[in-house]
Homo-oligomer: A and B are copies of this chain.
Amino acid sequence: MASRSDTKTRILDAAEKLFAERGFSETSLRLITSKAEVNLASVNYHFGSKKELIRAVLARYLDVFMPAASNQVNQLNTAPTKATLEEILSSLVDPLLDLNALRAGGTSIFLQLLGRGYIESQGHLRWFITTHYGQHLDAFIKAVSASAPHIPPAEMFWRLHFTLGTIVFTMASADALNDIAAAEFGEHNDIEAVIRKVIPYMAAGISVPVNS
């Protein structure tokens, strides 16, 4: 079965890169299989359909990231002092950067896939994530809410989605923005530098008092 998993992996590797770059519906199976140097029909043979391939691509990252992320959050919860919001957000940086060890550019690819998925799939991805990784999400949401107890739950719902938009849009266009920043300001940032820039922005927005 060496060839089987080899073909599956080649498909997943090619697909995630193309999905992140061009979006799901803009990426044809023919483009994926030609980049992966496998036969067109092997996608349907190994994954059943394009939709299931998309889910497999996302799951490969979520299965690694989600447990690592909620581990970090749980560690903060058991610490003697209550974690600040910025500490909670910063605790996700390592799990995110560890995805680069999984595959080259993994951090950026994962965040771009997340963004594309949330926008393209009319709610399907939201359902997929909440049903498969809901426990991990709940731990994170609870920790964030506890760090900003002055924010009502409904308001926090909106602010966490504002935050999702911030991170996801930023990462989807991080490469282009880095080019502009380099040309305009002489800055040369990598993905980690951008993540560390965005955390104070998000933390301030999430915790700003209501009606001020």
A residues whose Cβ falls under 8 Å from a Cβ of B: 22-23, 25-26, 115-116, 118-120, 122-123, 126, 153-155, 157-159, 161-170, 172-173, 176-177, 180-181, 184-185, 187, 194, 197-198, 200-208, 210, 212
Smallest CB–CB gap between A9 and chain B, Å?
27
Copies of this protein chain in the complex = 2
Asked if B161 contacts A173 (CB within 8 A), the reply is yes
Determine the main DSSP class of A at the interface with B. Answer: helix
CB contact between A208 and one of B118, B158, B201 (< 8 Å): that residue: B201
Asked if B157 contacts A185 (CB within 8 A), the reply is yes
Cα–Cα distance between A131 and B194 once the two chains are bound (Å): 26
Given known A166-B165, A212-B200, contact A157–B184 (CB-CB < 8 A): yes
Asked if A200 contacts B204 (CB within 8 A), the reply is no
Given known A204-B205, A205-B201, A205-B204, contact A164–B169 (CB-CB < 8 A): yes
User: Could you pull out 8 A-B pairs where Cβ atoms are within 8 angstroms?
Assistant: A123-B176, A154-B187, A165-B165, A165-B166, A165-B167, A165-B168, A200-B212, A201-B206
Asked if A119 contacts B201 (CB within 8 A), the reply is no
* Extra pairs beyond A122-B176, A126-B176, A201-B206 (20, CB < 8 Å): A115-B169, A116-B119, A154-B181, A154-B184, A154-B187, A157-B181, A157-B184, A162-B198, A162-B202, A163-B166, A164-B169, A166-B205, A168-B169, A169-B169, A200-B205, A201-B208, A203-B208, A204-B204, A204-B205, A204-B208
